[in-house]
Amino acid sequence: MKQFFKNRFFYIMTVLALLVTIVPMVFYNMGVTFVFRDAVKVMLVPMQKVFQAAADAVDGFAAYFYKFDALVEENIALKEEVAALQAQIYDNKEMEEMYAWMSDFLEMKRQHMDYQMTAATVTGRGSGNYSSILTLDVGSSSGVAVGMPVVTAAGIVGQITEVGYNSSVVTTLVEAQAAIGAFVERTGEAGLAVGDIQLTDKGLVRLNLPSGTAVQVGDRILSAGTGDVYPRGLVIGYVQSMESNPYTRTKNVYVQCVVPTSDISNVMILTDFTLYAE
């Protein structure tokens, strides 16, 4: 304890205590308390600034998290709004496609009053780069039978080759061994358009015409209506190229089918029509 009273720290603290006690009393007795007050203010102002800065920092920190939460909620709301708009756009697009398809359906019916048609949706496709086999969502319960032609407003897709109670299978024009009587609209020249395994993935069929044919690239090829499968005058496609066949002395005309069967989703099945008679 005696060592403590002899310690330099003790003397310093004693002097400071006396100053704090005596100096204000001296100023008070001298009537100049404002000096002490001003001195105190001088010492306190920096402290106040420090405390104010700390308070502002706390307020800013709290405001940041408040704004962050508000931004998160706003972001969620915007995402929900975008999702709703995307769904609306999808529905509108679907309705537009359905309206366009129904318009085509009615236009074909107007042009061919003898056609009896059943609408169908493509529910499956065969494997490969080009879908030459399609599955439809209608079958015998809807009056569908083997051999019926399948078309769109653009032209021929193929014919029904298998039928179930509520589904059916379409073999398209590009399938190997498929065949259809055809003629060149511009010249009237007739021939047989057949599928070829080497042309299937290109969406082409081969039309055999005499070597002296006047057919040209771009000519439109229509169904001849011979036989009992397809009515006359439906579009098959357009001539893409041609080459002479030295073995048969004919010309191989390659026709790009007008209906891209890899993309279509809705078709019409001709359940009845008037056969062509020369």
Residue 68 has pLDDT above 80, yes or no: no
**pLDDT at residue 108, as a whole number:** 73
Residue 121 lies in a domain: yes
In angstroms, the CA 193 to CA 205 distance is 6
Higher model confidence: residue 168 or residue 133?
Answer: 168
Residue 50 lies in a domain: no
**pLDDT at residue 183, as a whole number:** 95
Give residues with Cβ within 8 angstroms of 204, minimum separation 6. Answer: 174, 196, 240, 254, 255, 256, 257
In angstroms, the CA 23 to CA 49 distance is 26
Task: Of 31-45, 239-253, 255-269, give the lowest mean pLDDT range.
Answer: 31-45
Q: Are the C-beta atoms of 165 and 156 separated by less than 8 Å?
A: no
Residue 160 lies in a domain: yes
Residue 124 has pLDDT above 50, yes or no: yes
**pLDDT at residue 37, as a whole number:** 55
268 exposed, middle or buried (CB, 10 Å; 0-12, 13-18, 19+)?
buried
**274 pLDDT band (50/70/90 cuts)?**
confident
Residue 266 lies in a domain: yes
Which residue from 234, 122, 204, 101 is spatially nearest to 169, judged by alpha carbons? 122
Task: Of 15-29, 110-124, 132-146, 253-267, give the lowest mean pLDDT range.
Answer: 15-29
Residue 4 has pLDDT above 50, yes or no: no
What is the residue-averaged pLDDT of the chain?
A: 78
Residue 91 has pLDDT above 90, yes or no: no
Residue 242 lies in a domain: yes
Give residues with Cβ within 8 angstroms of 222, minimum separation 6. Answer: 182, 183, 185, 232, 233, 234, 235, 236
Q: How far is CA 47 from CA 41, 51, 140, 278, in A?
A: 10, 6, 94, 111
**pLDDT at residue 107, as a whole number:** 74
The pLDDT tens digits for 98-119 are 666 667 777 776 777 788 888 8
Residue at token pair 């089918």: 257
Residue 194 has pLDDT above 80, yes or no: yes
Q: What CATH number does the domain containing 222 carry?
A: 2.40.10.340
Q: Specify the pTM.
A: 0.63
Which element (helix H / strand E) includes 158?
strand 156-163
Residue 49 has pLDDT above 50, yes or no: yes
**pLDDT at residue 169, as a whole number:** 94
* 274: DSSP letter: P
Residue 131 lies in a domain: yes
Residue 205 has pLDDT above 90, yes or no: yes
The residue range of the domain holding 170 is 116-272
**pLDDT at residue 132, as a whole number:** 80
Task: Of 127-136, 221-230, 258-267, give the lowest mean pLDDT range.
Answer: 127-136
**pLDDT at residue 249, as a whole number:** 81
Residue 5 has pLDDT above 50, yes or no: no
Q: Is 60 strand, coil or helix?
A: helix
**Total number of domains in the chain:** 1
And the tokens for 26? 């001296």
Which residue from 161, 174, 169 is spatially nearest to 124, judged by alpha carbons? 169
Residue 268 lies in a domain: yes
Higher model confidence: residue 207 or residue 278?
Answer: 207
Residue 104 lies in a domain: no
